[in-house]
Amino acid sequence: MRLTCPHCGERPHDEFAYRGDATLRRPDPAAPADPEAEHSFVYLRDNPVAGHREHWLHAFGCRTLLVVTRDPATHAIRSIELAAP
Amino acid sequence: MTAGRSFRLASGGLVARDAPLRFSFDGADYEGLAGDTLASALLANGVRLAGRSFKYHRPRGIVAAGSEEPNALVELGAVGRREPDTRATTAELFDGLSARSQNRWPSLRFDAMAVNSLFAPLLGAGFYYKTFMWPASFWERLYEPLIRRAAGLGRIAEARDPDRYETVHDHCDVLVVGAGPAGIAAALAAARAGAKTILVEEDFVAGGRLVADRREIDGVGGAEFARAAQAELAGLPNARVLVRTALFGAYDHGEYGAVERVTDHLADPPPFAVRQRLRRIFAKRCIVAAGAIERPLPFGDNDRPGVMLAGAVRAYLNRYAVTPGTRAVVFADNDDAARTLADLALAGVEVAAHVDPRPGAAARLTAASGVATRAIEGVVTRALGRLAVTGAASVDAAGAAWRVDCDLIAVSGGWTPSAHLTTHLGGKPAWREDIGAFAPGALPPGMAVAGAAAGDFGLADALTGGWAAGARAAQDLGFAPPPPREPKVDPDAPARASTLRVHPGARGKVFVDLQNDVTTGDVALARREGFRRPEHLKRYTTLGMATDQGKTSGPLGLAELAALEGREVSDLAPTTWRPPFTPVAIGALAGAHVGPDLQPTRLPPAHAVAVEMGAVFVPAGPWLRAQYYPQGAESGWLEAADAEVRAVRAAAGVCDVSTLGKFEVAGADAAAFLDFAFANPVGALAPGRVRYGLLLRDDGMAMDDGTVARLAPHRFVVTSSSVGGPAAHLHFDFQRQARKPDLDVRIENVTSQWAQFSVAGPRARDAIARVLDPAFDVSDAAFPYLAAGEARLAGGEPARLFRLSYSGERAYEIATPAQWGAGLFRALVAACEELGGRAYGLEALNVMRIEKGHVAGSEIDGRTTPRDLGLDKFVAKKKDFVGRAMLSRPTLLDPARPSLVGLRSVEPDARIVAGAHLLAEGAPFDARHDLGHVTTFGHSPTLGRWIALALVKDGAARIGTRLRAVEPLRGHDALCEVVAPAQFDPEGSRLHG
């Protein structure tokens, strides 16, 4: 598997650390406690066949966190962007 | 008996007649030639019995001439180099090669285990699910050991593999798999266009069928054509030909795996040469020209030594100049037979009969090839003979039975494209009615197929198709393609694959899968029991498993199942082919990453000083750390660590803590970020102060701990544990970018940039003063407990000083850039020794942290919360931080959860060991009465007892009671007293002493 880092170019997956679902939003700490939302944030994950947005950190490179949109059926990479532009 | 005679032809073949090679098989000595495989050399010596089969121990011979060989599996090498299940057809002969047959006792010719054949009804499809089941207790003690001894192929190596392996990365524009006619043409086209081209070939000679058949291209012989092409490619700066290199897998985004056999074929490999090389090939385009695999035909006892694929017979005749028999029967149902007949006749092998079921075909082909033989319009029903073929029984169209004496039956049921690599990424092969076989279907991005692998079996089609594929790949990548080529070749007759069924008159076992001993009877039985899909049939009968992965048996199995089901083969889906295409040694996959080199070893800057001091080292994650520094007559870790603890508690000691993860965190929002990352309020630190820091995961479990020091309003230095450094780094970078992208903060990992030492003990201040710039005030007034600041060493080198204590004594941590680490350590050891102290290692450090009840990685095990560890007093109440919300889950607040306690042995010498389980006194030793476990232990010279930390249910409530610490594996059982985690100086008065 190859990922094209916006900073470093095309690199083998060995250089990256997988950090899971990139669509998760951490519940607002200022909002009233919502155990369901917290549970969902920590434990519940979707596995959409249509395409998965996931975090990959270029650990052996520029240390940038990337949002990779990948087709889980074919492993085709649809897009790669910076998580914190 | 054929042994003792030479079956080598007087001339021809790609063998070096001036280079005889000695080898042995089952202890007997033979001679072969350079250019032989073990299989061809055995046949040249008349050895046709090569092994015994998997379940029934039936005698087996050589069936093929390439990597599809299902039968002739032998053991090579000895001790650590022993390699079982090596295909004799791919093992390149070298001087001194020693091979042994497998799965026989006491000898290959007489195998006592052949009695298994008598029990065949018990060993049928899925036998391990049905027989040998009762009584259940017999399975483990009786049935399994017996079956394991009687069945199975090969023995694994007895010792560690002494050879070296390596991994390399190759990058190219065009990767061509297979150096047959199509692959050679593709590589030439791509390389001549200027594309960076790699041609890989699993064989040690390029050419494929060009060296196995007598062919002519533009007036040049096939072998000569292949040799010239290989030479041309080798001479181009942008092309490489890798022989002995098997491409075993296609992976995502243009990555391919190949294994190169570097020295397997050498009698005396050069020292330091690797045995095999794993090649990770990254290619923009890939052309699969892997050829086709010939299909056997089903008849009774079709596994007898001497039944051989017709294409393999021709390979032995033409490439190796070896006759695999003296009197042959050719049994085929395609026009390729003409080539087989002609080659046998040319080699002087008598052709006893040519059997072909197609109307008029046998007579037509026999006449066309000009070979004088008996043409039989019919089928072979049974191979006669046991240790070797002695004849063929056949039935003709009129129903008359024939019996022909022979020692070789050359069979061909046509060819099946080798589509394996095209399906590794999930593609499915597609049925091709014109060739009667499955061929590559939809291809992964960047892949093309050419030649026989694409179902183009004719030589002209292979050459033009290969050339076009190579040109197209180059053109796709922006190179100007070379003009099309139309070579003139000798005519050939592409064959549609056989639809032949077993003749009703067949007698004996009809094998579908030779390697797994699967017969047509097994297929029928499996189907009767409901295993009606190819994937189910494969799991139930093992058809298509093991080293050959069904290369020859797959099509036969599908045809048999389809016939029984009354369906067309095209309606069935072949079983999925997955990597590896051919067996790959685990050693090749591991490469250099074995033993101590599993991962790189990290050494702290002062490592050499510890070595000079005679330290004993212990691995801690990737680090090598000093465990203890034995002095004088100290005999081992216990005496040395006891003395080191006493020295620290009485005077001063120095410990290398350079391995701690170290991070610089800077920026206007550095304090805000650290407050979010850590569970305790670290952002409120005043400049010049340091404090404990606790990291949690999102689920509220403790992740790691360390310290946070504020050197300036916007500049912090953070430490983590030694082993947890990389994970903490990842955590910081992830949290900053994923959760707090708007904060102005930079994080830099400076673990390797700084050496750091802990100096502890009542005289620690004196020791630290001796190495610091005298102008730096280390008085308690100027540098109190939990102070932090930048300083200079006595020589002016930069330093950082933190007043932190892990041991419970007055202590300092001092850091300096790595290049001065060794010098600083030397100076600190000298200072401590002058004050009556010494250096101390990880063991003494651990004993002192247990005495003080400090947690480390053995307690922060991913299942413990701050509350479990007695750290909840640190957890912030007001601010937000990673893991906060999940901490209040009711189950995590259950007081019965295992929590941290200290343990102390009641008897001074009763050792408590890590991993021991804790039980109430008098309770039985079983899981139901388990109360918890010991996480870490040591011997406390201070308390004169073995001490430990443990996680125990209702921990706080058990303080003051006694528990047993039982570790049955090594026989430890110690009665201990449960105490508060801080067993020594619980008030902390010594921190200021």
CB atoms within 10 A of CB B890: 7
Count structural domains, chain A.
1
Start-end of H helices in B592-724:
607-612, 637-650, 670-677
| Dihedral, B206, B212, B214, B219 alpha carbons, nearest 10 | -10
Measured between beta carbons, the chain A residues lying within 8 angstroms of B254 are: 2
pLDDT digits (tens, 9 = 90+) for B927-956: 999 999 999 999 999 999 999 999 999 999
Residue A69: inside a domain: yes
- Which one of A57, A58, A62 makes the best mutation probe of the B interface by having the most chain B beta carbons within 10 Å? A57
**A49 in a structural domain:** yes
pLDDT confidence tier of residue B1, bands split at 50, 70 and 90:
very low
- Asked if A11 has any chain B CB less than 8 Å from its own CB, the reply is no
- Report the distance separating Cα B548 and Cα B517, nearest Å: 13
Place of tokens 């020589």: B795
User: In which domain, by residue range, is A75 found?
Assistant: 2-23+41-82
Contact B22, B30 (CB under 8 A): yes
Alpha helices in B143-236, H assignment, sequence order: 144-150, 181-192, 209-212, 222-235
Instruction: Answer yes or no: do B733 and A83 touch at CB < 8 A.
Output: no
For residue A13, is it within any domain? yes
Beta partners for residue B934, in sequence order: B950
Residues 384-443 (B) with a CB less than 8 A from some CB of A: 425-426
Cα–chain-centroid distance for residue B859?
A: 32
Q: What sign results for the dihedral spanned by CA atoms B953, B954, B960, B962?
A: negative
Q: How many C-alpha atoms does B220 have within 13 Å on its Cβ side?
A: 12
Give, in order, the Cα–Cα distances in Å from B886 to each of B330, B674, B740, B823. 76, 19, 19, 47
Strand duo B798-802 + B788-792: pairing: antiparallel
In chain A, which residues have their Cβ closer than 8 Å to the Cβ of B696?
Answer: none
Per mean pLDDT, which range of B54-58, B234-238, B487-491, B626-630 is the poorest? B54-58
**Cα B527 to Cα B519: distance, rounded to the nearest angstrom:** 13
Predicted confidence (pLDDT) per residue in B682-712, tens digit? 999 999 999 999 999 999 999 999 999 999 9
Q: CA B754, CA B799: separation in Å to the nearest integer?
A: 9
Minimum mean pLDDT among B65-79, B113-127, B338-352: which range? B113-127
Sheet of B374-376: strands edge to edge? Answer: B307-309, B408-412, B327-332, B350-355, B374-376
User: For residue A14, what is the domain's CATH number?
Assistant: 3.30.2270.10
Separation CA B771–CA B828 (nearest Å): 7
Q: Is B574 exposed, middle or buried (0-12, 13-18, 19+ CB in 10 A)?
A: buried
Residue type, B963: L
Is the residue at A59 inside a domain? yes
The answer to whether the CB atoms of A1 and B252 lie below 8 A apart is yes
Around Cβ B44, how many Cβ atoms within 10 Å? Answer: 27
Asked if residue A65 is part of any domain, the answer here is: yes
What does the alpha-carbon distance between residue B380 and residue B301 come to, in Å, rounded to a whole number?
11
Range B46-85 burial, b when 16+ CB lie within 10 A, else e: bbbbbbbbbbbbbbbbbbbbbbbbbbbbbbbbeeeebbbb
Q: What is the pLDDT of residues B540-557, one digit of tens each?
A: 999 998 888 889 999 999
Within B53-149, strands assigned E span 59-60, 73-76, 83-87, 97-100
Asked if residue B2 has pLDDT above 60, the reply is no
Is residue A60 situated within a structural domain? Answer: yes
H or E element, residue B375: strand B374-376
Taking CB atoms and an 8 Å limit, are A42 and B736 in contact across chains?
no
Indicate the pLDDT class of residue B48, thresholds 50, 70 and 90: very high
Question: Nearest-5° angle of CA B931, CA B934, CA B940?
Answer: 135
Q: Is residue A74 part of a domain?
A: yes
- Name the average pLDDT for chain B: 94
* Domain-embedded: residue A77: yes
> Could you tell me if the ipTM is greater than 0.85?
yes
> B133 pLDDT band (50/70/90 cuts)?
low
Q: Which of B786, B818, B576, B807 is nearest to B691 (CA)?
A: B786
Contact B284, B176 (CB under 8 A): no
pLDDT (tens digit per residue) in B782-827: 999 999 999 999 999 999 999 999 999 999 999 999 999 999 999 9
End-to-end CA distance of chain B: 94
User: A49 and chain B: CB distance < 8 Å anywhere?
Assistant: no
Q: Is the pLDDT assigned to residue B114 strictly greater than 80? A: no
Task: Decide if A69 touches B, using CB distance below 8 A.
Answer: no
Query: Distance between CA A64 and CA B803 in Å, rounded?
Result: 34
Q: Is-contact A53 A23, C-beta < 8 A?
A: yes
* B129-138, B331-340, B696-705: least confidently modelled range: B129-138
Q: A84 vs B738: CB contact, 8 Å cut-off?
A: yes
What is the secondary structure of B447-461 as a DSSP string? EEE-GGGGT--SHHH
